[in-house]
Amino acid sequence: MNQILLIEDDLIMGESLAQRLEIEGYSVFWCKSLSEAKATNLMNFSAVISDVRLPDGITTKWFAELPVLARSIPWFFLTAYSSVEDAISATKNGAREYLTKPFDIELLIDIIKRSIPLMFVRFDDAPLGVSPVMRSVEKLVKKIAQQRVALLISGETGVGKEVVAQYLYGQDARSQTGKFIAVNCAAIPENLMESEFFGYEKGAFSGAHKVHHGYLERANNGTLFLDEVGELPLSMQAKLLRALQEKTFSRLGSESITSSEFRLISATNRDLVAEMQAGRFREDFFYRLAVIRIDLPPLRQRPEDILWLTEKILGKIRIEQSRPLAVSENFLRDLLKRPWRGNVRELQSYLEQATIMTDTGVLDMTIAESLSTNDDAENPVLETLEIIVQAAEKTHIVRVLNHCNSSINQTAAQLGISRKTLWEKMKRLGISA
High-pLDDT (> 70) share of the chain, %: 92
| Domain 3-115 matches domain 148-295 at the CATH topology level | yes
Sequence spans of domains, the chain = 3-115, 148-295, 299-378, 385-429
Q: In the prediction, which pLDDT does 1 show?
A: 62
Phi–psi pair at 184, nearest 5 degrees: -90, 100
Q: In the prediction, which pLDDT does 409 show?
A: 87
High-pLDDT (> 90) share of the chain, %: 48
pLDDT (tens digit per residue) in 46-93: 889 999 999 999 999 999 898 877 887 888 998 887 666 776 777 777
CATH class of 299-378: mainly alpha
Q: Is 152's pLDDT higher than 90?
A: yes
Q: Are 165 and 128 in contact (CB under 8 A)?
A: no
Q: Is 135's pLDDT higher than 70?
A: yes
Quickly state the pLDDT bin for 122 (edges 50, 70, 90): low
| Distance (Å, whole) CA 36 – CA 251 | 71
Highest mean pLDDT among 99-108, 138-147, 400-409: 138-147
- Which CATH number describes the domain made up of 148-295? 3.40.50.300
Q: In the prediction, which pLDDT does 375 show?
A: 44
101-108 LR contacts (CB < 8 Å, sep 24+): 101/13, 103/78, 105/16, 105/17, 105/20, 108/49, 108/76
Q: Which of 10-14, 105-109, 387-391 has the lowest mean pLDDT?
A: 387-391
- Please count the other Cβ atoms lying within 10 Å of the Cβ belonging to residue 124: 5
Q: In the prediction, which pLDDT does 377 show?
A: 43
| Distance (Å, whole) CA 195 – CA 206 | 13
Q: Which of 166-175, 330-339, 382-391 has the lowest mean pLDDT?
A: 382-391
Q: Does domain 3-115 have CATH number 3.30.70.100?
A: no
pTM over 0.75? The answer is no
| Distance (Å, whole) CA 7 – CA 67 | 19
Q: Is 181's pLDDT higher than 90?
A: yes
pLDDT (tens digit per residue) in 364-376: 888 888 887 534 4
14-21 LR contacts (CB < 8 Å, sep 24+): 16/105, 17/49, 17/105, 20/105, 20/109, 21/49, 21/109, 21/112
| Mean pLDDT estimate for the chain | 86
Q: Is 288's pLDDT higher than 90?
A: yes
pLDDT (tens digit per residue) in 235-262: 999 999 999 988 999 999 888 999 999 9
Q: Does domain 385-429 have CATH number 2.60.120?
A: no
- First and final CA of the chain: distance in angstroms? 20
Quickly state the pLDDT bin for 383 (edges 50, 70, 90): low
